[in-house]
Amino acid sequence: MNNFMSYINYQLILEYAKNNDQREYYLQRRLIEPFIKSIVPELYIEDISVIRQSANTNRHNRTKYCGLNNEEKNTPPDLLIVKEWNYYNVENKLDYRGVIEVKSPFSKQDYYYEITDKNKDERLYPYEFKEYDELIKSKISWYLTATENDRVILTDGLQWDFFEKNNIDLNCNELMPIKRFKLVSLINEEKTDSKLNTSGEKMKKIKTTWEWFEDDRVYNELVKYIFNFLENKIFKKAYEIN
């Protein structure tokens, strides 16, 4: 773990994405994957977003790592962390360590409904978990129903949320992250009037300005937490960094 990505390089990659390629997939490939790999180089990172929803066969079972949605179908997260990857997971026992759902911190829509004052895009920062898009929260709960994986990471590069099945009672709707890290602080959020939606609700455009924390203390805590979260087969709350 001594050779993990530096805080400066992390910032540079995300800032480059902001100015040149704001796609979620670009952020996943250029920042999130190499960042995780630098922390847990002994683990395998597989892009499972490209595995079709109909990929369940007598040799591959996606329910083992991504669970089932409300229609009893598999909805894939973006990345799977495993000790050693083997597509044929029916006949081979895999050591799953977690899945990662990646979102872009750059809003596609930049609006919210004035009446509900609720976030309607897929950004994570600067919102609290309860304000996230409902589909994002649903996906996390689906992933936690996996039969052989019990850990989920949700991130947009600016904000990191961690979920662990043993610390959440899905039957009681207690879905909340067990740990959160924010690498930036909010400078300003401008809200200007926009058009009405089809239901006649007034919408406002949002322009969010943020800046990176100057020192790397939180970043280093994040790195340590990710290492413990993914390297330990049985993750306990005792590993949390206060």
Residue type, 128: E
pLDDT tens track for 203-213: 666 667 889 99
Name the percent of the chain lying above pLDDT 90. Answer: 57
What pTM does this model have?
0.86
Counting Cα atoms < 13 Å in the Cβ hemisphere of 83 gives 11
The more confident residue out of 101 and 107 is: 101
Six-digit token string for 197:
């939606």
The pLDDT of residue 54 is: 58
Residues 185 and 155: beta-carbon distance below 8 Å: no
Six-digit token string for 172:
């009681």
Instruction: Tell whether the model's pLDDT for residue 201 goes beyond 60.
Output: yes
What interhelical angle do 7-20 and 217-231 show, nearest 10? 90
DSSP bridge pairs for 39: none
pLDDT tens track for 1-38: 668 999 999 999 999 999 999 899 999 999 999 999 99
pLDDT tens track for 134-157: 899 999 999 999 999 999 999 999
DSSP bridge pairs for 207: 190
∠ CA 4-10-15 to the nearest 5 degrees?
170
> How far is Cα 139 from Cα 55, in angstroms, rounded to an integer?
18
The pLDDT of residue 240 is: 45
Instruction: Tell whether the model's pLDDT for residue 234 goes beyond 60.
Output: no
Q: What are the domain boundaries of the chain?
A: 7-107+122-189+215-233
Class level of CATH domain 7-107+122-189+215-233: alpha beta
Residues 154 and 165: beta-carbon distance below 8 Å: no
pLDDT tens track for 182-198: 999 987 766 666 666 66
Q: Where are the beta strands (DSSP E) in the chain?
A: 44-47, 79-82, 96-102, 111-113, 118-119, 151-155, 159-164, 179-182, 184-196, 202-212
The pLDDT of residue 17 is: 94
Six-digit token string for 144:
């936690």
Which ranges of the chain would DSSP assign to H, the alpha helix?
A: 7-20, 24-27, 33-39, 63-66, 134-143, 217-231
Q: How far is CA 224 from each of CA 5, 14, 81, 219, 234, rounded to the nearest angstrom?
A: 12, 20, 16, 9, 16
